[in-house]
Structure 1
Amino acid sequence: MRITVLRSFFLLFIFAFTGLYAQETAIMVRAKAKDAKFIGSSVGGAKIYIKNAETGEILAEGLTKGSTGNTEKIMNRPRERNENLAKESTAGFLANIDIKEPVFVTVEAHAPINKKQATVISSTQLWLIPGKDITGDGVVLEVPGFVVDILSPQTHERIPQTKEVEIMANIILMCGCPVTEGGIWDANQYEVKALISSENKQVNEVEMKVGEKPSTFSAKTNLDAGLYEITVYAFDPAAGNTGVDKTNFIIN
């Protein structure tokens, strides 16, 4: 009887003692472009932060790495309940966090991290429970917008007044997915314009059209001598995606 009591006490002690130790808990985080695919290595990835929501302590951070995923599965096929969109090679960030008790966390995606003029923050909050892994698709953060890069005119470029100004911009989804005429991301459904201003006054608005090269929009205009700022924007009225880039140039 005494041995049984001692054994029970010993087991209770061991259980209580081991309960003080943290358990490794896995959480997969992915960033997915709105109306498009996952944000991964091809655009530099999304920077992921997992923070204690109460204290702000960063529990884990890293980049999503991998491919943008299967286009047919993500964009064209109906999705069944609990069906994963991602596969092993699909971009994501897997964090392994040691926790002793449930922790309420904030999960942030800064994406695409290498395009500062286009980077947005998408976030959500949830409880992490020790030993209860969140894998598969995991936590998927939607990232709206376009990446807009003005290719021409170059910053501070001097253009003769006698010469036509060529405006050119590269426009892609946040995952790097291309914009093409008649494609999955159809250039014909997007509004792309260049707003040209001088001394904070708009002097011209030019509609830009997609060319033969995927994701490249262009237009031409004539301007008087002066200092100019150009703003190129892209807008998708169906999905609500938007994107902007700016530069300055000089007409001699």
Structure 2
Amino acid sequence: MKKMAKIFPLFCLGLVFLLGDIAAVQAEPTEVVVRARAKDAKFIGSSIGGASVRIRDAESGTILAEGITSGSTGNTDIIMRQPHSRYQEIGEGAAAFRAELDIEEPVFVTVEVLAPYIKKQARVLATTQTWLVPGKSIDGDGLVIEIPGMVVDILSPQTHRYTTMAEAPFEIRANVVMMCGCPITDGGLWDGSKMEVAALVKKDGKAYRTIPLAMTDTDNTFAASLAPEEPGVYELRVYAFDERTGNTGVDRVSFIVRE
């Protein structure tokens, strides 16, 4: 009995240490907020299909969380017009992806953002990496990933359209917006009159001509005429470029002109 009396306290002490070790490795909920912000513009949210976010364990490649940013593009005055101070949050109410991860120890993660998700010809993959520590959330504005570029959609001519020389000249018409869907207007906050929009035209696979597009009376819309001199297979690559920021977007289409 005396021997048992000596062993029991040792057993209890060992149990305390064991329970302490178990408690130490219990997973803790850790919130991560990810936002995608269009370069020189606002946040990418529901109005343009959101940004696809994927958080991976950088070592194993295991996906820890994934989803789509949702919400508005944010407050225009705060984001675009007012000066920002250090630690100031500018994304309040703006589109975000929120994940709560249960992690037991620090994890080095890769965060992948594909945006704008539904605009396949325009979307950009941007990535960053960071450490996540159990119980230490990255909230507020969170991780803000910049998405460069512009969304260009050729409205006319239509893809693979068959037409004839008698129908020439043909209208080239394109819609251009920022990556968040923010509008481009003549003299506006995103001033289309200071952007370069043009069509690079190929005929039968060879460079044919470059045609500048001008802003129309409709927001986001640029247009010009193409008067081909002979039949052929024509390919258009319409680009938008803002030399002040380096933002660039491209869309392309092909059509056939017969006699």
Instruction: Give TM-score scaled by structure 2 length.
Output: 0.92
Q: 1:76, CA displacement in angstroms?
A: 0.5
Query: Cα deviations across residues 126-183 of structure 1 (Å, max 9, x unaligned)?
Result: 0000010110000000000001100000001122212211000010110000110000
Q: Is the counterpart of residue 160 in structure 1 residue 164 in structure 2?
A: yes
Query: What secondary structure, in the 3-state scheme, does the structure 2 residue paired with 1:246 have?
Result: strand
> How many aligned positions are there?
250
Q: Is the counterpart of residue 241 in structure 1 residue 250 in structure 2?
A: no
Residue range with higher mean Cα deviation, 172-181 or 194-203:
194-203
Cα separation, 2, equivalents of 1:216 and 1:138? 34
Aligned AA (2:199): A
Q: Is the counterpart of residue 128 in structure 1 residue 132 in structure 2?
A: yes
Query: Cα deviations across residues 58-99 of structure 1 (Å, max 9, x unaligned)?
Result: 110000000000001000100011010011x31000011111
Cα separation, 2, equivalents of 1:154 and 1:220? 14
Q: Is the counterpart of residue 226 in structure 1 residue 232 in structure 2?
A: yes
Q: 1:4, CA displacement in angstroms?
A: 9.5
Cα separation, 1, equivalents of 2:237 and 2:253? 7
Q: 1:8, CA displacement in angstroms?
A: 6.4
Instruction: Give TM-score scaled by structure 1 length.
Output: 0.95
Q: 1:20, CA displacement in angstroms?
A: 2.5
Q: Is the counterpart of residue 183 in structure 1 residue 188 in structure 2?
A: yes
Which residue does 1:25 correspond to in 2? Answer: 30
Q: 1:55, CA displacement in angstroms?
A: 1.0
Cα separation, 1, equivalents of 2:164 and 2:58? 55
Cα separation, 1, equivalents of 2:213 and 2:24? 63
> Where do 5+ consecutive residues of structure 1 fail to align?
none
Query: What secondary structure, in the 3-state scheme, does the structure 2 residue paired with 1:36 have?
Result: coil
Cα separation, 2, equivalents of 1:9 and 1:86? 50
Kept in 1, the 8 Å contact 2:204–2:232? The answer is no
Aligned AA (1:228): Y
Q: Write out the 4+ residue segments of structure 1 that deviate beyond 6 Å after TM superposition.
A: 2-8
Which residue does 1:116 correspond to in 2? Answer: 120
Q: Is the counterpart of residue 201 in structure 1 residue 237 in structure 2?
A: no
Cα separation, 2, equivalents of 1:159 and 1:242? 30
Cα separation, 2, equivalents of 1:169 and 1:140? 30
Aligned AA (1:104): F
Identity percentage over the alignment? 48
Cα separation, 2, equivalents of 1:6 and 1:182? 79
